[in-house]
């Protein structure tokens, strides 16, 4: 009887390969989850995805540089594209300003304050 009891005690101490495998998989998943959460909250993540706003000087330069590089523009083409982009950005600013004015005419003062806050959040480079 004591031999049977000893064998059962030893069997209880052995690792079941399935349990060990699932435990290892869960541990790897949880470590990945923790590292991902830390990366999402770190400033490294914010810097990686932060780009200048479309209509800022930095945004304009970034757009033009990308077009010039990707399309391999000649100097004459680059000059013409720069002119077209300047017209487009001016049009964008005019439409944005006009639309904002028209919306604000419809809103109450309290709604205008909220609308301005929403616009700032939407146009902010961090969002």
How high is the pLDDT of residue 4? 66
Give yes or no for a contact between 42 and 117, defined as CB atoms under 8 angstroms apart.
no
Look up tokens 């989850």; give the residue: 33
The angle at the Cα of 88, spanning 83 to 91, to the nearest 5 degrees, equals 125
List, as own/partner pairs, every contact residues 80-86 make where C-beta atoms lie below 8 angstroms and the sequence separation is at least 24, other chains included.
Answer: 85/60
Q: Among 17-21, 49-53, 73-77, whose mean pLDDT is lowest?
A: 49-53
CB-neighbour burial class of residue 50 (10 A; exposed 0-12, middle 13-18, buried 19+): exposed
Residues 104 and 109: their CA atoms lie apart, in Å, by: 9
- Has residue 71 got a pLDDT over 80? yes
Residue pLDDT, tens place only, 83-118: 998 998 889 889 888 998 999 999 999 999 999 998
Question: In terms of Cα–Cα distance, which of 52, 82, 51 is closest to 65?
Answer: 82
More confident residue, 3 or 90: 90
How high is the pLDDT of residue 34? 77
Residues 16 and 23: their CA atoms lie apart, in Å, by: 11
Residues 6+ apart with CB under 8 A from 62: 51, 52
Residue pLDDT, tens place only, 27-40: 887 877 777 777 66
Mean pLDDT of 114-126: 78
How high is the pLDDT of residue 52? 74
pTM: 0.48
């Amino acid at each position: 009887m004591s031999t049977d009891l000893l064998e059962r005690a030893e069997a209880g101490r052995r690792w079941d390969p399935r349990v060990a495998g699932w435990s290892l998989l869960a541990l790897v998943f949880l470590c990945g989850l923790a590292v991902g959460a830390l990366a999402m909250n770190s400033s490294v993540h914010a810097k990686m995805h932060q780009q200048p706003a479309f209509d800022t000087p930095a945004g304009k330069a970034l757009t033009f540089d990308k077009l010039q590089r990707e399309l391999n523009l000649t100097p004459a083409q680059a000059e013409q594209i720069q002119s077209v982009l300047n017209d487009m950005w001016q049009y964008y600013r005019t439409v944005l300003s006009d639309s904002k004015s028209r919306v604000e005419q419809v809103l109450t003062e309290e709604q205008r304050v909220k609308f301005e806050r929403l616009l700032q959040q939407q146009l902010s480079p961090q969002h």
